Structure 1
Amino acid sequence: MQALSRSRFYLWNLGLPLLCAALVFLMFDMTKIDIAFSDLFFDPVSQSFPLDHSHLFEKITHKWARIIPNWTGELALIGLLLSFVWPLFKGARFGRGKALLEKIRVAPVLRFTARHRRDFLFVVVAFALCTGAIHYLKGHTSVYCPVETTQYAGKIEHKEWYQNFELLKTAGDGRCWPGGHASGGFTMLALYFVARRYRWRHSKALLHGSLLLGFVYGTTRVLQGWHYMSHTFWAGIVVWLTCLLVALLFYGRERLEQPVLAHAEPGPDPSAVPITAADR
């Protein structure tokens, strides 16, 4: 039974993304579907992508959109740093300090961060490794964006990522594969794994929302000529696999595969839960 559960977990969380990778490779990288899709948004008369010249579209979909993943990462980092504060007040000699923190209602926040230190650290590490993986692939494949290629009035010949791939050295100046902006939305998948750890009944909604955010981020850049559609799919696959690996290291498979709770289980007041040795 345990072996069946383990197989099912890896089939859905590892096997399915790898299958998606194979399909994306065959359907996009080995065909001209990417170019055919981008052609729909290219104006041959002006030799440009009209939406690339819309300042409002750029501000809303590219500049402002960064706020969501950026603030999430920053809040996780702040939470991680605050998680070390409450354990400093243990002991009788800090009684007055604890009383003051309770009075100004800061103590509950500090206790919360201390209890969830592992979760904050997971989000920080997952965000960092996802960003690192995307940047590594960008530098070691040297794929140029559509607007930079001769296909769309640019100067560089279009090549697929596997034609330039270098494992240990920079492949060139191109930095378009996988989609960086899309990966920013997909990094929110880290929150899904935290939700799975706690068996939160809305974890699937968080999963679908994170996937939708990544696809929206990626598609808007396709409309502007700064990515092909397959770049978005590849970004999602890379980010998912990276988050999965980090989640397995932090939480373990058994914790992640537990069924979600149909209803919130009653428990003690979170502000009254003491800090254990494991939380310090």
Structure 2
Amino acid sequence: MYATMARAVAMVGRCSSRSRRIPICWTLPRPTSSWRMNSSSRHPIPERAGPGFVLKLLPGLSLLTLALFAKLTGLDLWVADRFADGVHGFPWAHHWLTQKLLHDGGAWLIRIFAIALLLLAIVRSGAVRRAAVYLLAALALTTGSVAVIKQAVDKDCPWSLDRYGGQQPTLLLVYGTVSGKKPGHCFPGGHSSGGFSLLALYFVARRWRPRDAGKVLVAAAAVGFGFALTQWARGAHFVSHDLTSAAIAWVCAAWLAPFLHRPARTPQPQVGADRPKNARAVAAVASATSSTER
């Protein structure tokens, strides 16, 4: 394909010196959408199909599998038991460190990060704007998806269960909801979804700083699981809740990642508009050549 395109470009370049072949230039087909290249002009734009994209989704599917494992094996309750006592439920539930600093402070950090991305998207251009828009979209899609699922799914938080001093029976973890019960709206983890949305930074680093992509992934995952650990200690979420949020964040980031590879829009040359000028120039050259030969 590259050789064909090179020959086509060379043919266009030779048109001005070969008057009898000028019609070929007028009839050259424009590149189709399958020819679009990224900004480096070396790799085709990745599509959301094929084995490559499926492989990108594997980490998300693995996280969903771990979430199911945590729920079915009792890991959810085992971890919650580590932070609960038999008297006060979850001592860290309203502690200033977990509630004010880690929970509320972490939420504000994500908000500030989103505002910074919005400003970058407005005042900058090129690759910086593309990365900022992508990260904003990943953050919005992740947290929005989690919020919608939370409203649709009836799952209680650990601190709402009678096992930890709440009002809802723990058996609901196994048998689901019952009629007349107030909806729980605790699944997936909302707070951790903001932290896990930073997983999108991995795809940004992979696009422009591939050597640092692994470090960025570890750092983003550490922030997400730090948010999750705060909620486990407070009794606000089970492990499976936050693993599901991590899976959603990864899938959203991977689904939006092709946006990073789209080339900037450049004006298309108006080939047809130059035809009269080129034709007159070629005719003038041909006339001058014929008169010289006489």
1:138 aligns with 2:179: no
1:219 aligns with 2:219: no
Q: Which runs of 4+ in 1 moved over 6 A?
A: none
Measure how far apart 1:246 and its partner are. 1.2
User: Per the alignment, do residues 238 and 200 of structure 1 end up closer, same or farther by CA in structure 2, a change over 3 Å counting?
Assistant: same
Larger Rg: 2
Q: Is the 8 A contact 1:141 1:172 kept in 2?
A: no
Once residues 232 and 189 of structure 1 are traced to their aligned partners in structure 2, the CA distance between those partners, rounded to angstroms, is 14
Measure how far apart 1:62 and its partner are. 0.7
Q: Is the 8 A contact 1:48 1:153 kept in 2?
A: yes
Q: What whole-Å deviation, never above 9, does each CA across 1:17-74 have from its counterpart, x for those lacking one?
A: 213322431x222232211221121110x23211113223322211112233222211
Q: Is the 8 A contact 1:222 1:228 kept in 2?
A: yes
Q: What whole-Å deviation, never above 9, does each CA across 1:76-115 have from its counterpart, x for those lacking one?
A: 1111222xxxxxxxxxxxxxxxxxxxxxxxxxxxxxx112
User: Per the alignment, do residues 66 and 35 of structure 1 end up closer, same or farther by CA in structure 2, a change over 3 Å counting?
Assistant: same
Once residues 203 and 163 of structure 2 are traced to their aligned partners in structure 1, the CA distance between those partners, rounded to angstroms, is 40
Query: Which runs of structure 2 are paired with 1:167-178 in the superposition (5 Å)?
Result: 173-178=183-188
Q: Is the 8 A contact 1:145 1:228 kept in 2?
A: yes
Amino acid at match of 2:73: T
Q: What SS is found at the alignment partner of 1:43?
A: coil
Once residues 51 and 212 of structure 2 are traced to their aligned partners in structure 1, the CA distance between those partners, rounded to angstroms, is 21
Q: Is the 8 A contact 1:69 1:187 kept in 2?
A: no
Measure how far apart 1:244 and its partner are. 0.7
Once residues 265 and 260 of structure 2 are traced to their aligned partners in structure 1, the CA distance between those partners, rounded to angstroms, is 18
Once residues 165 and 119 of structure 2 are traced to their aligned partners in structure 1, the CA distance between those partners, rounded to angstroms, is 45
Amino acid at match of 1:251: L
Amino acid at match of 1:21: L
Q: What whole-Å deviation, never above 9, does each CA across 1:248-279 have from its counterpart, x for those lacking one?
A: 3x135x99xxxxxxxxxxxxxxxxxxx9848x
Question: Could you tell me which residue of structure 1 aligns to residue 11 of structure 2?
Answer: none
1:182 aligns with 2:222: no
Amino acid at match of 1:124: L
Amino acid at match of 1:81: I
Amino acid at match of 1:34: D
User: Per the alignment, do residues 208 and 9 of structure 1 end up closer, same or farther by CA in structure 2, a change over 3 Å counting?
Assistant: farther
Higher relative contact order (CA 8 A, sep 6+): 2
Once residues 63 and 243 of structure 2 are traced to their aligned partners in structure 1, the CA distance between those partners, rounded to angstroms, is 9
User: Per the alignment, do residues 123 and 42 of structure 1 end up closer, same or farther by CA in structure 2, a change over 3 Å counting?
Assistant: same
1:114 aligns with 2:157: no
Once residues 92 and 154 of structure 2 are traced to their aligned partners in structure 1, the CA distance between those partners, rounded to angstroms, is 25
User: Per the alignment, do residues 146 and 202 of structure 1 end up closer, same or farther by CA in structure 2, a change over 3 Å counting?
Assistant: same
Question: Could you tell me which residue of structure 2 aligns to residue 245 of structure 1?
Answer: 255
Measure how far apart 1:7 and its partner are. 6.9
Question: Could you tell me which residue of structure 1 aligns to residue 59 of structure 2?
Answer: 16
Q: Is the 8 A contact 2:193 2:224 kept in 1?
A: yes
Measure how far apart 1:150 and its partner are. 1.8
Once residues 175 and 150 of structure 2 are traced to their aligned partners in structure 1, the CA distance between those partners, rounded to angstroms, is 12
Q: Which runs of 5+ in 1 are unaligned?
A: 83-112, 165-170, 256-274
Q: Is the 8 A contact 2:134 2:260 kept in 1?
A: no
Q: Is the 8 A contact 2:59 2:247 kept in 1?
A: no
- TM-score (norm. length: structure 1): 0.68
Once residues 174 and 53 of structure 2 are traced to their aligned partners in structure 1, the CA distance between those partners, rounded to angstroms, is 27
RMSD over aligned CA atoms reads: 2.9
Once residues 162 and 209 of structure 1 are traced to their aligned partners in structure 2, the CA distance between those partners, rounded to angstroms, is 37
Residues matched between the structures, number:
216
Once residues 276 and 161 of structure 1 are traced to their aligned partners in structure 2, the CA distance between those partners, rounded to angstroms, is 53
Q: What whole-Å deviation, never above 9, does each CA across 1:171-206 have from its counterpart, x for those lacking one?
A: 963221111111111111122211122144212111
- TM-score (norm. length: structure 2): 0.65
